[in-house]
Every structure is written in structure tokens, then in C-alpha cells.
């Protein structure tokens, strides 16, 4: 479970995140929806302890990020906006490197690695160097790397960004699987269909603030729009930065 | 410890797969110094040796006015060449190194017992003419002295009358110390090698990772950043140490190809020399690795880091340039200054003098202290939020 209480973060004069609160429950997929530049990535970065909030609190499985960042990171699987693979290492070596940094023993590393390679259907690329990977292959590798330590909470920053239809579908399938395994899945997106198709709960962020925190049905009911995209536009109050 | 080792092994493995790093750290970096050195030394030494033995060709104007003198000079190795119309231009545009002009009234002055004048026409700004000019000058002075002595003897006087003071050289340099002077640039080669050996790694492991956006996922792992930094530094140490080792070995091998002994010099780049060089250079490996990483941490991209580091590369050159421009007396405090200490120490070793345990200890301790400080500063910079964010 990830609990966010009144997060603030500014860069110079820009208030990137200006009082964001929400809860992402276990066994649910929570979507962080917002136009580009709304503060989604900055919020997520504070969750996975890369940035320190100016104000506010983040609890992961009731552990305070400010108190024990390392314990929090152990409970998180993170796919950052920047995938950042090591291109001179193979996909398998990329996964193993992070597994070792997670402090896993070799037997468990082997088991988890093979399990993820099978689950993400990447056996054909596992022994290739990641240089020259397609966007989809890169995301798969990065996800396997992020989940190798079997974390209870999964944070995915724009996981389907740049993926084709087939890859997007298999990504969605994979996220549902994570949910069925009882994990807390939190992902950000600016694409309506995706959020509508996947989420149990939608947190809409605009200008650094939470403007809605509902189930998809409730969101539609609240705005009186049958179409989620129209509902979204209505909530954030403009079409700026919107991409479908 | 396990984290640091994991990072270290991964960085070494990854960089061993990078051809550019291998070329620069293990081939060009360490070998270009020794090769360049042997080539330059061979050219310089061979030319000096040849010049000393070979006859010297000099255009002579008015040779017919002093046939006796020309005959005497010929015996000393002068080969008179045909005169040219405009010797000044010939010297300036390098068709001749030096021209000897004997005026028409040479014979008249000679017979009167006056100083008969000859002219040497040369351009001292042409560096390679110095040897020929000096040799010709010495020949003429020798001839002049000889003739003067003959005249005194003919008048019943002792030639020693003309030499109230005689100077005898007692040069205290040893064959090794003369060589040491010639090889004063060598310490810089060693330092440069360490620098080159670690440079691509330092860039790649910090600025490169940042540019490729892999620092962000890396820092999402449950490990303190300083442990990651130590692993990265370790990888840089290994590459620059390997580079230094190759360089020292290459100098040892190349040393045997330099015909220094033919100039009465001795150069010993053997195992004892290599061992002591490695010993006093180890702290520099650690210091430069930390400095390079620190500088690379401020760069947003690979290219930017490269620019900063090439400026940093000039820093270790300063003691070398300073010492060769104004040779100062070696003082004990110099061993306490990293870079300068190593510079002075290696120079002493090249001169064939040994370093005391105390001096070696000074080099190592001062180097380690500064290296530790640089590492702490780098670790502090590594903690910054800004570091991991690439976009």
C-alpha cells in the first residue's frame, strides 16, 4: 500500500507538486492521470525516494520514506520514466545486476530471473545485449529488472509510452497479473483509454494538484460525461498538454 | 561491501566490452608516451652523434684569400662548398646553415700581424643550426690560438703568456644524472597515463550513466549511494592502475632501445625503478579517480564531461612545466605536495638517486589524505538530488 499525504515540491519558482494526497491499495491498479507537466513524474520520484519532498509524507506499507528510505526501496519495484538500460550488458545481465543490488542470493536470482523472462515472454532476447533493442524490448527488460526482487508495490511511470499496440496489450495483461497477485500497482499515464481499461481508481493531477480521486464510473457520473476523455478535459479545465 | 563489489564487477565487465575505453585506457594511453619518447630520443641522439663525427659542409666566400687557414680547417673536418651570391638570404631560407666569409684584405692584415677578420653568417633563430655554428666557431678559435702560439714562439716568448688563467672542467654529473635531465618530461607521462586510463571510465560511470538515464533506476535500489560510488571508483582504480603498469613496463622495455650510453649517459628503467614509481603513484590513482568523478558529476552529458576533464588534464602538467622551466632545488616539503612529490620523486629516481623510506612515505601519506578528501567531497556531491535526474 502506498499512502501519500500532502506532498509539495518546488523547483525555483515553479511549484511542480502542490499538495498531492492519495492512497493506492494492495490488489488494485491506481492510475495517476494528468497532462504532460502536471507533476506526475515528480510525485512518483518522491515516492521512490529519488527526491525529497519539501513538505508532506509518503508511507509505503506503513513505512515512512523519510525515516527508512532503504526499507521502502526494498518494497518498491520501480520503472522510471527513464528506462536507462546498460547497453553493453545483455538483458539477463541487466536483470542480475539489480537483483544483486537488492541483496538477493544467487539461487533466488536465477529462479526469479527465469520466472520473469517467461512471464514477460522475452526468452528470445534474454542473452542479447540491450543495445539496439526496440522500445518494447527495452521496457520489458526494465520491468523485469524492476520486479526481480518480487516487491509488493510496483510503480510504473508511463509504462506504455512508445509501445505499439501488441506490446501495449501485453503490458496491460502483465499489469492485471500483478494486481491479481495482490500487489499494489501505481502507474502514471496521460492516455484515457488505458486508464479506463485498467484502473480501479483514478487520481487526476493537474498543475501539481489532485483534481479528482475516484473510480472510473464515479468519475463519469461526477462530470456527467459518458466519455472518459471528455470527463478528463472537463476536470482539468483545458485541453492543454492532452494527447490521446 | 557486497554492494560495492557488485557495482565494481559490473562496471569492469561493462567497460571491458567497450572498445573505445580499452583502446584509450590500455593501449593508446599507456603506450603512446613510451613510443613517442623512444622515437624522439632516437632522432635527437642519432642526429647529435652524427653531427659530432661527420664532416661539416660550409659554403666559403673568398677561400682564395686564406688558403692556409682553409687547409687547416679542412683537416678538422670542414668541407668547403662553393660560394653563393647572397649568403644572408641563403641562411635565412635555410639553404645553408652557416656561411664563412673571408674578406679581400684578410691576407694583408695577416701579414701585418693585425687581427684578420672573418665573418660567420647564420640565423640563430633556426634551432638546428646551433651545432654547426658552434663547431665552425671552435675550429676557427682553435686555428687562431694555434697561430697565435706559433707567433709567440717565433719571437722567443712562451705561449703560456697568452693564457694567464687556464680553466679545467670538473663536471660532477654522473652518466645517470645527465640522463635524468634529458628525461625530465617522463614523470608527466606517468601521470598522464593514470589520467587517460581512468578518464573514459570516470566519464562513462557518472556523466555517461546520467546521460543514458540509468542513474535513476540504479538509485532506486535499496543501497546507499556512497557504496555505489566506491564500486565505481574501484573500477576506475583498476583501469588506471593497469594503464600505469603497462606504461611503466613499456618504458622499461623501451629504455633498452635508447642509445643513451653512446652520449655518456645511463638510464635505468628496470624493475626497481618501476616498483618505486608504482608505489608512489598509487595515491595519485585514487586522487585522480575521485577528481575525475567529481568533475564528471557536474556535467550533464558525456561531451560536457569530456570538455571539463581535458581542462583538468592540464593541472598535473603544471609541476612538470614549472620544474622544467625553472629548475628549483629539491626541498623536503615538496614530497608533501601530491603531484609535485611524485614529480620530484621520479626525477630523483631517474637521476639514479634513491628515495628514502621517509620520502616515499611522505608521497604516499599526503597523496592518500588528499585522495580521501576528494573522495568525501565526491560522495557528498553524489548524494545530491540533482545528480540522478537527467531530463
Residue B254 vs residue A113, higher pLDDT = A113
Beta strand A28-33 with A184-189 is parallel
Q: How far is it, in rounded angstroms, from Cα A73 to Cα B217?
A: 11
Tell me: pLDDT of B35 over 70. yes
Q: How confident is the model at residue B178, as a pLDDT?
A: 67
Last residue of a domain, one of B103, B128, B160: B160
Cell, residue B83: 660560394
Residues B186 and B110 occupy one common structural domain: no
Mean pLDDT of chain A: 88
- Cβ <8 Å between B223 and A101: yes
Residue B61 vs residue B324, higher pLDDT = B61
Tell me: pLDDT of A243 over 50. no
For residue B50, name the pLDDT band (cuts at 50, 70, 90): low
Tell me: pLDDT of A225 over 80. no
**Does B167 map to a domain?**
no
Residues B286 and B324 occupy one common structural domain: yes
| Stretch B17-27: mean pLDDT | 86
**For the packed helices B186-202 and B340-350, what is the interaxial angle rounded to 10 degrees?**
140
Cell, residue A224: 456527467
Residues B36 and B71 occupy one common structural domain: no
For residue A242, name the pLDDT band (cuts at 50, 70, 90): very low
pLDDT in tens, A145-159: 999 999 999 999 989
Tell me: pLDDT of A202 over 50. yes
Q: How confident is the model at residue A241, as a pLDDT?
A: 47
Would you say A29 and A200 are in contact if contact means Cβ atoms under 8 Å apart? yes
Last residue of a domain, one of B160, B192, B216: B160
Residues B181 and B320 occupy one common structural domain: yes
Cell, residue B326: 625553472
Instruction: Kindly report which listed range (A240-244, B306-310, B325-329, B381-385) carries the lowest average pLDDT score.
Output: A240-244
Closest CB to A48: pick one of B10, B13, B220: B220
Which of A173, A146, A167, A232 minimizes the C-alpha distance to A29?
A173
A93 contact residues in B (CB cutoff 8 A): 10, 13
Q: How far is it, in rounded angstroms, from Cα B385 to Cα B300?
A: 14
Q: How confident is the model at residue B39, as a pLDDT?
A: 81
B58-67 burial: b if 16+ Cβ within 10 Å, else e:
bbbbbbebbe
With 0-12 CB in 10 A as exposed, 13-18 as middle and 19+ as buried, what is B82?
exposed
Grouping H, G, I as helix, E, B as strand and the rest as coil, residue B263 is: helix
What is the secondary structure of A138-170 as a DSSP string?
HHHHHHHHHHTT--SEEEEESTTTT--HHHHHH
Tell me: pLDDT of B126 over 80. no
Q: How far is it, in rounded angstroms, from Cα B249 to Cα B254?
A: 9
Residues B191 and B304 occupy one common structural domain: yes
Would you say B316 and B291 are in contact if contact means Cβ atoms under 8 Å apart? no
Residues B40 and B59 occupy one common structural domain: no
Would you say B7 and B232 are in contact if contact means Cβ atoms under 8 Å apart? yes
State the count of interchain CB pairs (< 8 A) between A and B. Answer: 84
**Does B168 map to a domain?**
no
Mean pLDDT of chain B: 85
- Count the alpha carbons within 13 Å of B145 in the hemisphere toward its beta carbon: 10
Tell me: pLDDT of B309 over 60. yes
What is the secondary structure of B272-302 as a DSSP string?
HHHHHHHHHHHHHHHHHHHHHHHHHHT-SSH
What radius of gyration do chain B's Cα atoms show? 30
**Nearest CA distance, A211 vs chain B (angstrom):** 26
Residue A223 vs residue A90, higher pLDDT = A90
Would you say B341 and B334 are in contact if contact means Cβ atoms under 8 Å apart? yes
Residues B201 and B329 occupy one common structural domain: yes
pLDDT in tens, B206-236: 988 888 888 889 999 999 999 999 999 999 9
For residue A239, name the pLDDT band (cuts at 50, 70, 90): low
Percent of chain B topping pLDDT 90: 25
Q: How far is it, in rounded angstroms, from Cα B249 to Cα B241?
A: 12
Could you give the ipTM of this predicted complex?
0.89
CATH number attached to the domain at A1-75+152-244 = 3.40.50.300
Residues B227 and B131 occupy one common structural domain: no
Residues B293 and B330 occupy one common structural domain: yes
N- to C-terminal Cα distance for chain A? 29
Would you say B244 and B30 are in contact if contact means Cβ atoms under 8 Å apart? yes
| Stretch B43-62: mean pLDDT | 77
- Cβ <8 Å between B222 and A98: no
- Cβ <8 Å between B220 and A51: no
Query: Which are the contacts of B385, defined by CB distance < 8 A and separation ≥ 6?
Result: A50, A51, A52
pLDDT in tens, A23-68: 999 999 999 988 888 888 899 999 999 899 999 999 999 999 999 9
Cell, residue B239: 583501469
Which of A153, A152, A232 minimizes the C-alpha distance to A193?
A232
Residues of B with CB under 8 A from a CB of A: 2-3, 6-7, 10, 13-15, 17-18, 209, 212-224, 385, 388-391
Q: Apex CA A91: angle with CA A86 and CA A92, to 5°?
A: 120
Q: Which range, A61-65, B37-41, B173-177, is most confident?
A: A61-65
Q: How confident is the model at residue B390, as a pLDDT?
A: 61
A84 contact residues in B (CB cutoff 8 A): 209, 212-218
Closest CB to B217: pick one of A84, A89, A102: A84
Tell me: pLDDT of A129 over 60. yes
**Nearest CA distance, A149 vs chain B (angstrom):** 10
**Does B198 map to a domain?**
yes
Residues B283 and B374 occupy one common structural domain: yes
With 0-12 CB in 10 A as exposed, 13-18 as middle and 19+ as buried, what is B3?
buried
Closest CB to B385: pick one of A51, A73, A98: A51
Domain that holds residue B105: 55-160
| Stretch B268-297: mean pLDDT | 90
What is chain A's percent helix, strand, coil content, to nearest 5? 40, 25, 35
Residues B280 and B341 occupy one common structural domain: yes
For residue B327, name the pLDDT band (cuts at 50, 70, 90): low
What is chain B's percent helix, strand, coil content, to nearest 5? 70, 5, 25
Pick the residue from chain B with its C-alpha nearest to A49. B220
How many CB atoms are closer than 10 A to CB A243?
Answer: 8
Would you say B117 and B109 are in contact if contact means Cβ atoms under 8 Å apart? yes
A86 contact residues in B (CB cutoff 8 A): 10, 14, 214
A72 contact residues in B (CB cutoff 8 A): 222
Tell me: pLDDT of A222 over 80. no
Q: How confident is the model at residue B9, as a pLDDT?
A: 94
Four-point Cα dihedral A66, A68, A74, A76, nearest 10:
-20
Residues B121 and B88 occupy one common structural domain: yes
Q: How far is it, in rounded angstroms, from Cα B344 to Cα B350?
A: 10
Q: How far is it, in rounded angstroms, from Cα B292 to Cα B309?
A: 7
Instruction: Kindly report which listed range (A185-194, B130-139, B264-273, B297-306) carries the lowest average pLDDT score.
Output: B264-273
Closest CB to A97: pick one of B10, B390, B391: B10
**Nearest CA distance, A138 vs chain B (angstrom):** 12
Residue span(s) of chain A under CATH 3.40.50.300 come to: 1-75+152-244
Cell, residue A162: 512508445
Domain count, chain B: 2
Would you say A67 and A144 are in contact if contact means Cβ atoms under 8 Å apart? no
**Does B61 map to a domain?**
yes
Length of chain B equals 391
Residues of A with CB under 8 A from a CB of B: 45, 48-52, 70-74, 76, 78-89, 93, 97-98, 100-103, 142, 145-146
Tell me: pLDDT of A144 over 90. yes
Pick the residue from chain B with its C-alpha nearest to A89. B14
Closest CB to B385: pick one of A52, A74, A86: A52
- Cβ <8 Å between A82 and B222: no
Beta strand A76-79 with B56-61 is unpaired
Which of B216, B383, B206 minimizes the C-alpha distance to A45?
B216
- Cβ <8 Å between B218 and A84: yes
Q: How confident is the model at residue A244, as a pLDDT?
A: 39
- Cβ <8 Å between A84 and B219: no
| Stretch B13-18: mean pLDDT | 91
Grouping H, G, I as helix, E, B as strand and the rest as coil, residue A92 is: helix
Amino acid at each position: 500500500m502506498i499512502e501519500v499525504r500532502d506532498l509539495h515540491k518546488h523547483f525555483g519558482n515553479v511549484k511542480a507538486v502542490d499538495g498531492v494526497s492519495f492512497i493506492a491499495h494492495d490488489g488494485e491498479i491506481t492510475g495517476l492521470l494528468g497532462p504532460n507537466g502536471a507533476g506526475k513524474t515528480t510525485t512518483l520520484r518522491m515516492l521512490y525516494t529519488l527526491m525529497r519532498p519539501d513538505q508532506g509524507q509518503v508511507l509505503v506499507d506503513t513505512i515512512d520514506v523519510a525515516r527508512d528510505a532503504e526499507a521502502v526501496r526494498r518494497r518498491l519495484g520501480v520503472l522510471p520514466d527513464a528506462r536507462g538500460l546498460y547497453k553493453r550488458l545483455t538483458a539477463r545481465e541487466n536483470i542480475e545486476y539489480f537483483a544483486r543490488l537488492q541483496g538477493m542470493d544467487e539461487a533466488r536470482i536465477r529462479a526469479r530471473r527465469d520466472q520473469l523472462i517467461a512471464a514477460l515472454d522475452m526468452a528470445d532476447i534474454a542473452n542479447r545485449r540491450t543495445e539496439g533493442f526496440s522500445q518494447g524490448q527495452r521496457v520489458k527488460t526494465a520491468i523485469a529488472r524492476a520486479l526481480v526482487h518480487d516487491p509488493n508495490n510496483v510503480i510504473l511511470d508511463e509504462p506504455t509510452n512508445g509501445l505499439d499496440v501488441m506490446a501495449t496489450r501485453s503490458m496491460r495483461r502483465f499489469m492485471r497479473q500483478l494486481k491479481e497477485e495482490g500487489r499494489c500497482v501505481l502507474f502514471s499515464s496521460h492516455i484515457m483509454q488505458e486508464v479506463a481499461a485498467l484502473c480501479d481508481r483514478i487520481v487526476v493531477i493537474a498543475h501539481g494538484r489532485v483534481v479528482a480521486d475516484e473510480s472510473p464510473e464515479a468519475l463519469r457520473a461526477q462530470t456527467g460525461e459518458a466519455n472518459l476523455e471528455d470527463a478528463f478535459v472537463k476536470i482539468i479545465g483545458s485541453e492543454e498538454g492532452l494527447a490521446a | 561491501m557486497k554492494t560495492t563489489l557488485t557495482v565494481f564487477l559490473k562496471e569492469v565487465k561493462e567497460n571491458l566490452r567497450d572498445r573505445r575505453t580499452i583502446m584509450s585506457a590500455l593501449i593508446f594511453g599507456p603506450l603512446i608516451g613510451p613510443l613517442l619518447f623512444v622515437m624522439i630520443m632516437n632522432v635527437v641522439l642519432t642526429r647529435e652523434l652524427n653531427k659530432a663525427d661527420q664532416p661539416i659542409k660550409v659554403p666559403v666566400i673568398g677561400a682564395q684569400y686564406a688558403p692556409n687557414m682553409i687547409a687547416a680547417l679542412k683537416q678538422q673536418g670542414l668541407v668547403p662548398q662553393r660560394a653563393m651570391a647572397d649568403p644572408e638570404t641563403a641562411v635565412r631560407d635555410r639553404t645553408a646553415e652557416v656561411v664563412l666569409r673571408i674578406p679581400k684584405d684578410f691576407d694583408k692584415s695577416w701579414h701585418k700581424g693585425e687581427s684578420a677578420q672573418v665573418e660567420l653568417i647564420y640565423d640563430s633563430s633556426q634551432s638546428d643550426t646551433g651545432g654547426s655554428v658552434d663547431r665552425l666557431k671552435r675550429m676557427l678559435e682553435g686555428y687562431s690560438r694555434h697561430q697565435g702560439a706559433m707567433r709567440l714562439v717565433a719571437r722567443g716568448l712562451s705561449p703560456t703568456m697568452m693564457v694567464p688563467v687556464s680553466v679545467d672542467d670538473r663536471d660532477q654529473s654522473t652518466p645517470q644524472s645527465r640522463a635524468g635531465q634529458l628525461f625530465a618530461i617522463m614523470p608527466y607521462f606517468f601521470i598522464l597515463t593514470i589520467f587517460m586510463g581512468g578518464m573514459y571510465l570516470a566519464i562513462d560511470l557518472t556523466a555517461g550513466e546520467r546521460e543514458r538515464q540509468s542513474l535513476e533506476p540504479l538509485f532506486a535500489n535499496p543501497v546507499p549511494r556512497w557504496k555505489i560510488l566506491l564500486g565505481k571508483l574501484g573500477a576506475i582504480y583498476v583501469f588506471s592502475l593497469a594503464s600505469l603498469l603497462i606504461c611503466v613496463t613499456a618504458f622499461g622495455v623501451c629504455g633498452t632501445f635508447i642509445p643513451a650510453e653512446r652520449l655518456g649517459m645511463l638510464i635505468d628503467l628496470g624493475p626497481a625503478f618501476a616498483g618505486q614509481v608504482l608505489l608512489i603513484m598509487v595515491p595519485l590513482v585514487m586522487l585522480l579517480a575521485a577528481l575525475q568523478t567529481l568533475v564528471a558529476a557536474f556535467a550533464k552529458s558525456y561531451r560536457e564531461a569530456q570538455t571539463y576533464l581535458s581542462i583538468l588534464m592540464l593541472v598535473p602538467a603544471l609541476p612538470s612545466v614549472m620544474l622544467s622551466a625553472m629548475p628549483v632545488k629539491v626541498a623536503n616539503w615538496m614530497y608533501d605536495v601530491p603531484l609535485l612529490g611524485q614529480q620530484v620523486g621520479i626525477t630523483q629516481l631517474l637521476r639514479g638517486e634513491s628515495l628514502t623510506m621517509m620520502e616515499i612515505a611522505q608521497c604516499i601519506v599526503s597523496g592518500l589524505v588528499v585522495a580521501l578528501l576528494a573522495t568525501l567531497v565526491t560522495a557528498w556531491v553524489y548524494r545530491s538530488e540533482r545528480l540522478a535526474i537527467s531530463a
